[in-house]
Structure 1
């Protein structure tokens, strides 16, 4: 076990890193995923362990978590509860599997109920909802490519309902720590963060990430205005006392507020770029996404792999929907295609 240095380039290194008294960061691997790792946070007390997020239910993640807990002279049997920020597989599914063996309590935000119910549908295509949405957004060829890559039907073994649901304003006490549950819809409808005001820590999940912008619009049951939800949630977190940022992906950083300000500025600029693309004649989310640049390397849409191209198109749609809500654009569905125009 070592102190967490906050190294932006080495945060995925395996191990157990102390971020505050009684709080440790454990990065778990995400093989073949550009995110590289997911941070699980361990709160330690004489009564056992509480973990914020759980990792993906794969052998590599379980081995890494087991080894990290041994560094704390603990084991998986000492885990009393998982506090899960949202229902994506790299945060939720390992908790489901471990509960079957050890019986620990698993808790999740109430807004995830509908998406989780869809994920539990037997033999569904893992991207069924996204494929239909891509076709509506003008990305039919991209949808066909994805359909060919994800033809296998998913087993439901990774998905079960939690033991209980979080609601905004709840308080969770463990040892010297009191975590305030804050509902932060946007990345997913039921995303929550945990604010430890006494220790000045924010367990942020994917709501606030230090080096990348969280994806918007990738979930089974989508809200009407996910980007509007996300920006509203950022404003809500910005109104709370500042804290150290404990993200799910990336290093621990000193200030939540500083990163929230950067994310709000980014999306403000992106909204302007999106509106300008429509003014130049792009009519669908796919056509707009093709005019924008992606990632810090400024890639074009055609340069992205198929999965990230899907995320780019759905995130573009989220910006377009917010522009419609702001009366800056109009929208109409014509012959199965969603079209946008300047207001």
Structure 2
């Protein structure tokens, strides 16, 4: 590709404020920010140059602004959307997967995703009110609170999005000529979230798994055996053992000190679990009630839409983790509620004596 590297390779990741711009990460690897309709503002799509044409890590949100930014960014690199050969998607959220089918239609590129997140794409076809209502009722929300939350979604509709061409599994070597990529299955944020490890350049393309500032949420537990937080925490030590020189997340900015960041994330999640355990010791509680008590304000009042869904999901995730540890159990309703087990009490007493 013929590119003006001097013009494009300056610092593109502002640490405070500002917007990222097209940036050369390594020879043949570029960070291309695409705009999002809401927070966090941008998603970082990574462009891998090859002799066969460019390959993309993630695709961006499917709107005209995102498509225009993708087209302009690739043009600045001396290539086109029509030249893209493959799209490797870290996970199924629409700010990462959204443009992938449109890129495939324009170029004939293959689109790859983990099988568990392929299955999750079906959920986006359902009306968002149905998804939110099911979650809130599962958490034990009062029916009037459910109705108020669903009223905010009037006029919204589901998204019928095409599936990928192929599935990527853990420790697979994707066919990207000239690059030494290995897929790493890193569940938690979604069931099939993937990171990509480039051992030659010691780069970890981390998707939403390890952002430098933000603690990402986990997906809602799918059944009684599902522990998204436990799965997430279980990925951290193996990733640290890779000792990457640079972590390339899909939002915010790249960073070098993975060990410190993992310590911060582990401490934050441990503190949330400890707070939840303390609240459970006060007596039975619904996930809806717990979600409010975990907030600084102590209530869910004023929350709507995505913030409400994320806050309630977080409570369900922590409770599922305590259930996996044997420290909490869910009692049938209505409404369903959670109680501490003797194991939680014994752990608390041991911590107090120590």
The question of a shared fold, defined as TM-score above 0.5 by the shorter chain, is answered with yes
1:1-343 maps to which residues of 2 (within 5 A)?
A: 1-10=8-17, 12-13=19-20, 15-31=21-37, 33-120=38-125, 124-140=126-142, 141-152=144-155, 154=157, 156-157=159-160, 159-218=161-220, 224-281=226-283, 283-293=285-295, 301-302=300-301, 304-343=303-342
Confirm or deny: 8 A CA contact 1:130 1:220 kept in the other structure. Answer: no
Aligned length: 334
In 1, Cα distance between the equivalents of 2:315 and 2:309? 10
Tell me, what secondary structure is at the counterpart of 2:212? coil
In our comparison, the structure showing a higher alpha carbon Rg is: 2
| d(CA) in 2 for partners of 1:340, 1:108 | 38
Q: 1:44 to 1:134 in 2, by over 3 A?
A: same
Shift of 1:289: 1.8
Using the TM superposition, name which of 94-103 and 75-84 deviates more. 94-103
Alignment partners' CA distance in 1, 2:122 and 2:76: 37
Note if contact 1:189-1:222 (Cα within 8 Å) is conserved in structure 2: no
Structure 2 contact 140–334 (Cα < 8 Å) conserved: no
1:57 and 1:93 in contact (8 A); partners too: yes
Asked if the contact 1:290–1:300 (Cα under 8 Å) also holds between the matched residues in 2, the reply is yes
Q: Distance in 1 between matches of 2:134 and 2:197?
A: 37
Paired residue secondary structure (1:73): coil
Q: Distance in 1 between matches of 2:224 and 2:334?
A: 22
Q: CA deviation at 1:340?
A: 3.0
Distance 1:34 1:305, change over 3 A: farther
Shift in Å, 1:203: 0.7
Range moving further from structure 2, 79-88 or 237-246: 237-246
- Which sits farther off after the overlay, 264-273 or 110-119? 110-119
Q: 5+ residue gaps in structure 2?
A: 1-7, 343-354
Q: Which moved more, 1:75-84 or 1:148-157?
A: 148-157
Cα RMSD of the aligned pairs, angstroms, is 2.4
- C-alpha contact (below 8 Å) 1:129/1:220 kept by paired residues: no
